[in-house]
Amino acid sequence: LPKLFIFDLDGVITDTAEFHYLAWKKLGEKLGVSIDRNFNEQLKGISRMESLERILALDPSLSLSEEEKEILATDKNEYYKQLIETVNEEQTLPGVEVLLQTIKENNIKIALGSASKNASMVLEKLGLTNYFDYIVDAAKVKKGKPDPETFTTAADALSIAYPDCVGIEDAAAGVHAINDANMFSVGVGSMDHLAKANFVVHDTSKLDFEEIVQHFSNWKK
Ligand code: G6P
Ligand code: MG
């Protein structure tokens, strides 16, 4: 069996990936750049400032000072915080809490691997904090996804070897990070973006403990 499951938050545990998207879209409208769902795939799992840089790069005429960038990033976060006000215990995505319970029943550790500064707050709102043995958020890492640091930090904190870990992600950058950490990667979403994952499910309702463990064992051989 794996010894540690590391969950991404936004888009895996709850659908806050949609709220990040809507908040960036609103900021984009203010800047006169349109952000569609396809481009948004490149923002998933990416830190707030790096996401802003990628958006600003869409329009080379937008050259802003660091101070102006800070203000825009804060604006986006204000939009985002308004959107997550409605997050409550009913908004955990289908299948996730059963998976968390099953992992616990098997005496396997659980960590969070999120790039978000809002991660602990969202986990609290969902009432899921108690499942987690360790939380990695934006404050704990120097290099964000696709760098493996988010995932290796969780494994190191719990003294677990990387190939004994399973990482679950909805972002291409996150899958890349898990693979580079030499952990088993589970992608949640479309093959179009997650083809590099060791195992892909269409949505969280398809996250089955036995099935993940089976694929993990084959990968380890
Ligand atoms: C996660 C999300 C990204 C978001 C990042 C930073 O990785 O997938 O969309 O940009 O966290 O979130 P924050 O709440 O710190 O702005
Ligand atoms: Mg995500």
Around ion ligand 2, residues with a beta carbon closer than 5 Å are: 8, 10-11, 170-171
* Tens-digit pLDDT profile for residues 126-141: 999 999 999 999 999 9
DSSP secondary structure string, 90-118? GGBPTTHHHHHHHHHHTT-EEEEE---TT
d(CA 91, CA 78): 20
Q: Assess whether the previous peptide bond of 94 is cis (omega < 30° from 0).
A: no
Here the ipTM equals 0.98
d(CA 213, CA 215): 5
User: Which residue positions form the known binding site?
Assistant: 8-10, 24, 43-48, 51, 76, 114-118, 145, 169-170
d(CA 94, CA 15): 10
* Tens-digit pLDDT profile for residues 166-199: 999 999 999 999 999 999 999 999 999 999 999 9
User: Which residue positions form the known binding site for substrate?
Assistant: 8-10, 24, 43-48, 51, 76, 114-118, 145
